[in-house]
């Protein structure tokens, strides 16, 4: 009886664990089966084509690929330095009262629905850009700002933790050598916390690439290739989000094919992220 | 011919590529206290953890040779390992109360098996707490978290927890290294009471403790058994120069 | 000298940037709550939306959100916690483990809109469940699985190894050790992970749009289609014809998330602290 329970529990846990493999496999297969025919039919023109016009049977997603890359890069350029700045502030400068207020607030911000950020962008960021920088306001810039705000809580809280968990001897040693607090942060603490910060950034960027609803609200969703950051654009995710509701036949398959491309991009990001974090755990072991 | 409780024969122990115990042969008499002592990393802890097969939790570990308990191999797969660990109890270097009440800690092993009545468990808890010289201090608050006890009390709780299972052999691994002298004295005192019923193998935290508590002692150095004998032989008249150097404090 | 000046500049700059950004972030919450709390009253919470949400309340989206969330968490929990126990306790590397780990980490990275696509073609169409709370719940369940696995595994791994060793030396089997010595100490961390994923379910929009549908009537069963609050808010905000209702909905959402984060955590800490 005891042995039976022993064996059973191991088997049950293994079976439950195998579910993840099954889920990933089924997801991959179903998306592939739906989308592959369109990629097969149009071939390279699906990725390199510049015209998306489902009514005329034209399915080129290059503008969306460019859109996704542009918006994500923009979000990274805005969000990463600011995020690290805030993390340093929270870990090193903030008075403890501020810390006790901000920390839960930032955690709450990480949990609020992305559409709330999109809504705020629609009401403030878009008009601001339109009034002060020109254009419609619905633009790559607006999308990048919203995505950077959205990923900030993630970057701040994870980076802050990776600075805080450093052994205090690092900081004490550097200060004892006569370094200023800022020199210590810049040349000792930030380099030591690098792998954690990089992981935070990758996690944040992953969310940015995958975000759909918040950016639909502020990107303008034009299918042309943009020529500046003030022009509207459509990303891979928004392409699916906007058109899936009414797509039929080949159009619908083309949206699944868009999903495949998105999936591939994300998988490349994931695998490189897993590679980086694996190296991180190795280097930690050597220490 | 004398019967031994434990016989270790040609025992080799490896951690990955590294060998930590070399061809060890050792016999342990019943109802005696044996001290296995030596400088750090000599293999004493490994040896103790082999005797209840706790070392098997680490997949990188490997052993050769034989350990017999009452003449039967402890590695015999027909003998259940949980049964073995109930017969060969262990107290760890640091106090290790589980995050539950005092009562739940002491009765942990008893409650695993089926069919013990509440009264029988309570009786065993009381008896083992008395044996470990802790009963008077905790009898009013058995439901208090074990973590609320002092370090010395926690360690005696761990002794009681092992005794509750009525083991045949008790392994004590540097069990007093972090304790105050009073708790140490209480534990050592209970040890000399306990050997009437149990065979005790202790890895003492220093030579003085070995001298105080044990009947016999074995000196381990870098995984080799240097010599083994009665307390008198080992501490007043050691045969090997390394033993006398160590017990007189020239190294270690 | 130069070092002290750069110290001053850097410190001022970091203070300014960080405070500005954190205040902007908090302003978003305050702005929504300020505009939304005025709309929230008893009728708003207990009436079904009328005229595409421009009139009436948000009762059916609230019910939709709660049912999708409960379904997703109930379905994902056994798989998530089971996988975590397998990864933390039953395996020491090996090919199967590496594949499981790769799959869970990959699942964590898939965008919610792709989960939506999958749910649409698999649950809604292939399995014939239609746009329904069940389809939405199943889809979101797979989505939150990696979160539950990761947080639970961390919680189990953080249980001191000595607890396991003690349990083994007292003659416990592996299963008894996990049940009696490991789980009680890991419960709090596991519960925190569950709370985190409840929050993700409530906030999810893209995946439920494609699987649970956008119907505003009261759902009759888990086979009915229903709009969730996040999606309701999105659709109202995009149409722009009933901004007050949009604000009200988002304020309810934020309060709900706040409640889940803060109150649930407090409850967990209160009831799971026994013995520590």
- The domain locations on chain A are 64-232
Q: Report the residue of chain C nearest A242, measured CA to CA.
A: C206
Q: Which residues does C176 contact at the CB level (< 8 Å), separation at least 6? A: B112, C167
Residue pLDDT, tens place only, B211-245: 888 899 999 999 899 999 998 888 888 888 898 88
b/e C109-130 (16+ beta carbons within 10 angstroms → b): bbbbbbbbbbbbbbbbeeeebe
Residues of chain A contacting C202 with CB distance shorter than 8 Å: 113
What CATH number labels A64-232?
A: 1.10.3720.10
CB–CB of A155/A149 below 8 Å? no
Count the neighbouring beta carbons within 10 Å of the beta carbon of residue B81.
17
**C-alpha–C-alpha distance, residues C200 and C17, integer Å:** 29
Contacting residues of C for B54, CB less than 8 Å apart:
165, 168-169
Are C167 and B98 in contact (CB < 8 Å)? yes
Q: Indicate if the pLDDT at residue A286 is higher than 50.
A: no
Q: DSSP code of C50?
A: B
The answer to whether B85 contacts C163, with C-beta atoms less than 8 Å apart, is: no
Q: Which of residues 161-190 of B touch C (CB under 8 A)?
A: 161-162, 165
Q: Which residue has the higher pLDDT, A159 or A283?
A: A159
> Cα C156 to the chain's mean position, in Å?
20
Q: Cβ(B109)–Cβ(B209) under 8 Å?
A: no
Residue A285: its pLDDT value, please?
Answer: 42
Contact between B160 and B134 under an 8 Å Cβ cutoff? The reply is yes
C-alpha distance from B55 to closest chain C C-alpha (Å):
10
According to CATH, the topology of domain B6-245 is Rossmann fold (3.40.50)
Who among A23, A180, A185 is closest to C107 (CB)? A23
Q: Which residues of C touch A14 (CB under 8 A)?
A: 86, 90, 96
Q: Name, in order, each residue with C-beta under 8 angstroms of C262's C-beta and a sequence gap of 6 or more.
A: A104, A108
User: How far apart (Å, rounded) are the C-alpha atoms in residues B173 and B114?
Assistant: 30
Task: Report yes or no: B107 at the C interface, CB cutoff 8 Å.
Answer: no
Note whether B52 contacts C169, CB cutoff 8 Å: yes
Looking at the predicted structure, is the pLDDT value of residue A287 above 60?
A: no
Alpha-carbon distance C115 to C209, whole Å?
11
Q: Where are the domains of chain B?
A: 6-245
Residues of B in contact with C168 (CB under 8 A): 54, 57, 85
Residues of C in contact with B147 (CB under 8 A): 275-276
Where does the pLDDT of residue A17 fall: very low under 50, low under 70, confident under 90, or very high at 90 and above? very high
Write the residue in C164, C169, C181 that is nearest to B90 by C-beta: C169
Which of A45-49, A239-243, C252-256 has the lowest average pLDDT?
A: A45-49
How many B-C residue pairs are in contact by the CB < 8 A criterion? 66
Task: Please give the Cα distance from C46 to C102 (Å, whole number).
Answer: 45
- Average pLDDT of the residues of chain A: 88
Q: Give the integer Cα–Cα distance in Å for A120 and B251.
A: 72
Q: Looking at residues B177-182, what average pLDDT do you find? A: 76
Chain C touching partners, 3 or more CB pairs below 8 A: A, B
ipTM (interface pTM): 0.89
Mutation target vs C (from B112, B155, B161; most C CBs, 10 A cutoff): B112
CB contact under 8 A, A105 and C200: no
Residue of B nearest to C175 (CA): B112
By Cβ distance, the residue of B59, B146, B161 closest to C170 is B161
Give every CB contact of residue A258 below 8 A, 6+ residues apart in sequence: A35, A61, A64, A236, A239, A240
What whole-number distance in Å separates Cα of residue C93 and Cα of residue B188? Answer: 43
Contact state of B98 with C165 under an 8 Å Cβ cutoff? no
Determine, for residues C163 and B99 on separate chains, whether the beta-carbon distance falls below 8 Å. yes
Render each residue's pLDDT in chain C as its tens digit; 276 residues: 578 888 899 999 999 999 998 888 889 999 999 999 999 999 899 888 888 888 888 999 999 999 999 999 999 999 999 999 999 998 877 888 889 988 998 898 899 999 999 999 999 999 999 999 999 999 999 999 999 999 999 999 999 999 999 999 998 989 999 999 999 999 988 998 999 899 999 999 999 999 999 899 899 999 999 999 999 999 999 988 889 999 999 999 999 998 888 877 777 777 665 444
Between CA C49 and CA C26 the distance in angstroms is 30
Print burial letters for B118-144: b (CB count within 10 Å at least 16), e (below 16): eeebeebbbbbbebbbbbebbeeebee
Q: B21 has which bridge partners?
A: B13
The number of CA neighbours under 13 Å toward the Cβ of B130 is 6
- Provide, as residue numbers in chain C, all residues whose Cβ is less than 8 Å from the Cβ of A183: 3, 6-7
**Phi and psi, residue C270, nearest 5°:** -75, -40
Which two three-digit tokens encode residue A205? 């960027």
C-alpha closest to that of C219 among C34, C62, C83: C62
C175: which residues sit within 8 A by CB, 6+ positions away?
A5, A6, A9, A10
Q: How far apart are CA A59 and CA A150, in angstroms?
A: 31
How far apart, in whole angstroms, are the C-alpha atoms of residue B106 and residue B119?
Answer: 14
Q: Is B57 on the interface with C (CB under 8 A)?
A: yes
Q: CB distance from B101 to chain C under 8 Å?
A: yes
Beta bridge partners of residue A212, listed in sequence order: none
pLDDT at A282 over 60: no
Burial bucket for residue B17 (CB in 10 Å: 0-12, 13-18, 19+): exposed
First to last CA, chain A: 46
Are A122 and C28 a contacting pair at CB < 8 A?
no
C225-237 per-position pLDDT tens digit: 999 999 999 999 9
Mean pLDDT (chain C) is 90
As given in the structure block, the two tokens for residue B168 are 């045949």
Pick from A188, A196, A105, A114: nearest CA to A155: A196
**What chain A residue is nearest to C24 in terms of C-alpha separation?**
A149
* Domain spans in chain C, listed from the N-terminal domain onward: 42-271
pLDDT at A2: 62
Nearest residue on chain B to C186, alpha-carbon basis = B99
Whether chain B has a CB inside 8 Å of the CB on C166: the answer is yes
Tokens of A38: 């369109």
Q: What are the chain B neighbours of C92 within 8 Å (beta carbons)? A: 59
CATH number, domain C42-271, options 3.40.50.10070, 3.40.1530.20, 3.20.20.70, 1.10.3720.10? 1.10.3720.10
C14 touches chain A (CB under 8 A): yes
C184–chain B Cβ distance below 8 A for any pair: yes
Sequence-distant (≥ 6) Cβ neighbours of residue A98 within 8 angstroms: none
Q: Which residues pair with A26 in a beta bridge?
A: none
Reported as a single tens digit per residue, the pLDDT across B47-99 is: 999 999 988 888 788 888 889 888 888 888 667 888 899 899 999 888 889 99
Confidence tier at A284 by pLDDT (50, 70, 90): very low
What is the rounded distance in angstroms from the CA atom of residue A79 to the CA atom of residue B236? 73
Least confident of A87-91, B101-105, B182-186, C103-107: B182-186
With 80 as the cut, is the pLDDT of residue A278 above it?
Answer: no
Q: How far is CA A260 from CA A47, A209, A243, B166, in A?
A: 11, 14, 16, 64
Element (H, E) at C112: helix C112-119
- pLDDT digit string (tens) for A143-183? 999 999 999 998 998 899 899 988 888 888 888 888 888 88
Contact C138, C130 (CB under 8 A): no
CA-to-CA distance for A279 and C16, rounded, in angstroms? Answer: 35
Residue numbers in B near C185 (CB within 8 A): 99
Q: Give C-chain residues touching B158 at CB under 8 angstroms.
A: 166
Q: Which of B57, B82, B89 sits opposite C172 (nearest CB)?
A: B82
Strands B88-91 and B169-173: parallel
pLDDT at A116 over 90: yes
Which residue on chain C is closest to A19 by alpha carbon? C79
Residue of C nearest to B144 (CA): C275
Element (H, E) at B125: helix B118-131
User: What residues form DSSP beta bridges with B12?
Assistant: B64
d(CA C105, CA A142): 30
pLDDT in tens, C124-172: 999 999 999 999 999 999 999 999 999 999 999 999 999 999 999 998 9
In Å, what is the CA distance from C40 to each residue of B155, C34, C36, C45?
A: 58, 11, 7, 7
- Tokens 């002692």 label which residue? B217
CA A98 to CA A31: how far, in whole Å?
47
CB < 8 Å to C145, chain A: 19-20, 23
Residue B141 has pLDDT above 70, yes or no: yes
């Amino acid at each position: 009886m005891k042995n039976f329970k022993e064996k059973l529990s191991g088997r049950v846990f293994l079976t439950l664990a195998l579910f993840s493999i099954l889920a990933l496999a089924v997801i991959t297969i179903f998306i592939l089966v739906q989308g592959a025919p369109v990629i097969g039919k149009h071939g390279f023109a699906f990725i390199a084509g510049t015209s998306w016009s489902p009514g005329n049977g034209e399915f080129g997603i290059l503008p969306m690929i460019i859109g996704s890359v542009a918006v994500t890069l923009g979000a990274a350029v805005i969000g990463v330095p600011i995020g690290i700045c805030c993390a340093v502030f929270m870990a090193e400068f903030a008075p403890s009262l501020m810390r006790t207020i901000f920390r839960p607030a930032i955690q709450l911000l990480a949990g609020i629905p992305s559409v709330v950020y999109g809504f705020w962008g629609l009401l403030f960021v878009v008009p601001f850009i339109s009034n002060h920088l020109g254009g419609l306001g619905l633009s790559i810039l607006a999308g990048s700002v919203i995505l950077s705000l959205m990923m900030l809580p993630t970057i701040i809280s994870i980076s802050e933790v990776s600075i805080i968990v450093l052994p205090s001897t690092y900081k004490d040693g550097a200060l004892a050598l006569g370094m200023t607090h800022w020199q210590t942060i810049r040349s000792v603490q930030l380099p030591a916390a690098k792998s954690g910060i990089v992981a935070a950034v990758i996690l944040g960027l992953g969310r940015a690439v995958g975000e759909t609803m918040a950016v639909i609200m502020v990107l303008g969703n034009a299918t042309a290739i943009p020529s500046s950051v003030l022009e509207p654009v459509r990303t891979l995710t928004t392409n699916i989000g906007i058109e899936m509701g009414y797509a039929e036949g080949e159009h619908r398959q083309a949206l699944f094919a868009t999903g495949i491309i998105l999936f591939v991009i994300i998988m490349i990001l994931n695998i490189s992220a897993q590679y980086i974090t694996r190296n991180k755990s190795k280097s930690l072991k050597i220490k | 011919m004398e019967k031994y409780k434990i016989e270790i024969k040609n025992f080799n122990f490896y951690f990955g590529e590294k060998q930590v115990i070399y061809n060890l042969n050792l016999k342990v008499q019943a109802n005696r206290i044996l001290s296995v002592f030596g400088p750090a990393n000599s293999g004493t802890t490994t040896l103790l953890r082999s005797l209840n097969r706790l070392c098997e939790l680490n997949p990188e570990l490997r052993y050769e040779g034989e350990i017999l308990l009452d003449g039967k191999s402890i590695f015999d797969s027909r003998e259940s390992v949980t049964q073995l660990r109930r017969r060969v109890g262990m107290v760890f270097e640091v106090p290790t109360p589980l995050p539950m009440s005092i009562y739940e800690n002491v009765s942990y092993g008893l409650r695993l098996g089926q069919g013990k009545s509440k009264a029988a468990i309570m009786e065993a808890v009381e008896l083992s707490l008395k044996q470990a010289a802790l009963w008077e201090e905790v009898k009013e608050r058995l439901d208090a978290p074990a973590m609320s006890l002092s370090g010395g009390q926690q360690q005696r709780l761990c002794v009681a927890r092992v005794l509750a299972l009525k083991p045949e052999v008790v392994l004590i691994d540097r069990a007093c290294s972090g304790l105050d002298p009073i708790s140490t004295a209480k534990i050592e005192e209970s040890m000399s009471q306990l050997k009437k019923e149990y065979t005790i193998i202790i890895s003492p935290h220093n030579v003085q403790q070995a001298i105080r508590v044990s009947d016999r002692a074995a000196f381990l150095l870098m995984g080799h058994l240097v010599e083994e004998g009665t307390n008198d032989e080992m501490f007043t008249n050691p045969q090997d120069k390394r033993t006398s150097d160590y017990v007189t404090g020239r190294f270690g | 000298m130069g070092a002290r000046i750069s110290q001053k500049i850097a410190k001022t700059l970091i203070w300014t940037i960080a405070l500005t950004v954190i205040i902007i972030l908090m302003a978003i919450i305050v702005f929504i709550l300020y505009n939304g709390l005025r709309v929230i009253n008893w009728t708003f919470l207990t009436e079904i939306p009328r005229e595409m949400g421009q009139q009436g309340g948000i009762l059916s989206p609230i019910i939709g959100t709660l049912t999708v969330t409960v379904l997703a968490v109930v379905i994902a929990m056994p798989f998530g916690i089971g996988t975590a126990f397998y990864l933390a306790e039953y395996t020491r590397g090996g090919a199967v483990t590496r594949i499981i780990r790769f799959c869970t980490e990959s699942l964590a990275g898939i965008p919610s809109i792709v989960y939506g696509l999958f749910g649409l073609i698999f649950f809604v169409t292939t399995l014939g469940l239609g746009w329904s709370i069940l389809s939405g719940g199943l889809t979101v369940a797979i989505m939150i699985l990696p979160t539950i696995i990761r947080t639970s595994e961390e919680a189990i791994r953080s249980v001191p190894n000595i607890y396991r060793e003690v349990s083994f030396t007292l003659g416990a089997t592996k299963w008894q050790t996990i049940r009696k010595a490991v789980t009680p100490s890991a419960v709090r961390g596991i519960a925190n992970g569950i709370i985190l994923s409840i929050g993700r379910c409530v906030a999810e929009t893209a995946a439920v749009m494609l699987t649970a549908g956008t119907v505003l009537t009261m759902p009759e069963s888990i086979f009915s289609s229903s709009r969730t609050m996040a999606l309701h808010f999105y659709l109202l905000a995009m149409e722009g014809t009933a901004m007050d209702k949009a604000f009200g909905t988002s304020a309810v959402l934020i309060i709900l998330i706040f409640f889940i984060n803060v109150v649930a955590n407090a409850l967990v800490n209160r009831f799971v602290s026994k013995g520590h």
